[in-house]
Structures are given as C-alpha cells and as structure tokens.
A and B are shown apart, each in its own frame.
Chain A
Amino acid sequence: QTVVTQEPSFSVSPGGTVTLTCGLSSDSVSRRSYPSWYQQTPGRTPRTLIYNTDIRSSGVPGRFSGSILGDKAALTITGAQADDECEYYCLLYVGGGIWVFGGGTRLTVL
C-alpha cells in the first residue's frame, strides 16, 4: 500500500517562509512522480497551485513555488499572508496509471 505523507499541520508567521513537504512511504519522490499541489479552504473546491513539480498555475501568486527537496516534493510559500491559512494537498503518480493524494497539511498563519 503506497502512502503519500504530508505534515499534518504547520505554522508560519505573517511574512515568513514555510516549506511543506510530500513524501512516499516506500520510495523517493522525483520529478517522475509528477507532484502537483492543491489549496483548499473549508467548504470550497480545491484550487490547483502547482503542476508537475514546479509549474505555477495561472493566477497563483509568485510567493508559491514547487520543487524537489531531497527525496520529497516541496511547496514553499515565501512571504506568507493571512489568507494562505488553509489546507494544502499534494498528488503523486505512483505508477500503473495510479495517483495518490497526501493526507493534507493544515497551515496556520499567526
């Protein structure tokens, strides 16, 4: 069973920088995992932030960036703002046409 791991919660100060990560329980994440990142506020539809590791979706502020850090995918928010406080999910390709979401990270900005 492939599990995609994310920090359950994270906290950042307004204006600060935070890096959320996305890993695999039994393997390393690489560009071939094609990680994407989604932002969701309570009661709302997910919003796609990052495609295929590091391609920012149209309209997404430049403070959001994606990368591979070590053996994980990473979403970095540089200069966090209050309305960045929500849930963040990653999605990874695990082979055979199968995709798996991470459990999500709840980000608090305070």
Chain B
Amino acid sequence: QVQVQESGPGLVKPSETLSLTCAVSGYSMTSGYYWGWVRQAPGKGLEWIGSTHHSGTTYYNPFLKSRVTITPDTSKNKFSLNVEFVTAADTAMYYCARFESSVLRAFDIWGQGTVVTVSS
C-alpha cells in the first residue's frame, strides 16, 4: 500500500525558511509518477505549490516560484519542500501527495498533512 507522510517543524519564524519532508513508502519514486505539495491556509482553499519527478524535472506555482524549492531524494525515497522568507501568509496545512501524470492526471495518494505556523 502506497503511503506518503509529511514531517517537519510546526513553527517557523518570519523571514526564515520552512522545510518539510515527505516520506514515500510502498512505492519507489524512481518507478515513476510526480510527487507534489499542496497547501491550505486556515479557512481557505487548496493551493498547488509544485511537483517533482525523480528525474529532477520540477514545476512550480508561478506565484511561489521565487521562494520555493522541491527536491527529490531517491536514495531515501522522499522529497522535500523549502519555502524561503516566510511570512504569516505561509501559515497553512501542508500536504504532500503523489501525482499520476500519464493517464489519471491527478493527485491519487495524499498524506495526512502537517500544520505549519509562521510566527515569532
């Protein structure tokens, strides 16, 4: 059974870097699929952050691209998210998810999410 699980600090100070990791189990990232991040600010809708492939091909939300990096680590079967220069607007639930890009063209496996609060 394929599972993804987010981890990382729940509190980040303004102007610092938010770093999260998504561990993949039950499936090897090198076998395919894209792997992505989605966030949801309190009381708001879902926001696509970006997706990465084990080959290194990565796509980002244009509005976040200047601050966001998503990196696959196939040796540990995980991928990470870094968001630089965070502000209160980056406070959100962050989900990692698997994205099937050939036939289904959608997120099919979701993590439980991790709450990140930006505050001093």
Contacts and interface: CB of A to CB of B under 8 A. Distances in A.
Interface of A: 34, 36, 38, 40, 45-48, 50-52, 55, 57, 87, 89, 91, 93, 96-104
A51 B70 CA distance: 24
Interface in B97-119: 100, 103-108, 110-113
A45 B110 contact: yes
Contacts of B108: 48, 51, 57
Nearest to A96: B59
Contacts of A99: 48, 51, 59
Chain A contact residues, majority secondary structure: strand
A93 B48 contact: no
Interface in B69-98: 95
Contacts of B38: 46, 101
A18 B113 CA distance: 30
A51 B104 contact: yes
A109 to B, nearest CB: 20
Contacts of A93: 105
Contact of B104 (A45, A46, A47, A52): A52
Interface residues of B, number: 22
Interface of B: 38, 45-48, 51, 57, 59, 61-62, 95, 100, 103-108, 110-113
A89 B107 contact: no
Contacts of A48: 106-108, 110
B47 A97 contact: no
A89 B104 contact: no
B46 A52 contact: no
A45 B95 contact: yes
B111 A45 contact: yes
B31 to A, nearest CB: 19
A104 B46 contact: yes
For A48, A50, A100, A103, which residue has the most chain B Cβ atoms within 10 angstroms? A48
Q: Closest 4 CB pairs between A and B?
A: A97-B59, A36-B106, A34-B105, A51-B104
B22 to A, nearest CB: 13
11 contacts: A36-B105, A38-B107, A48-B107, A51-B103, A51-B106, A52-B103, A52-B105, A89-B45, A91-B46, A97-B59, A101-B47
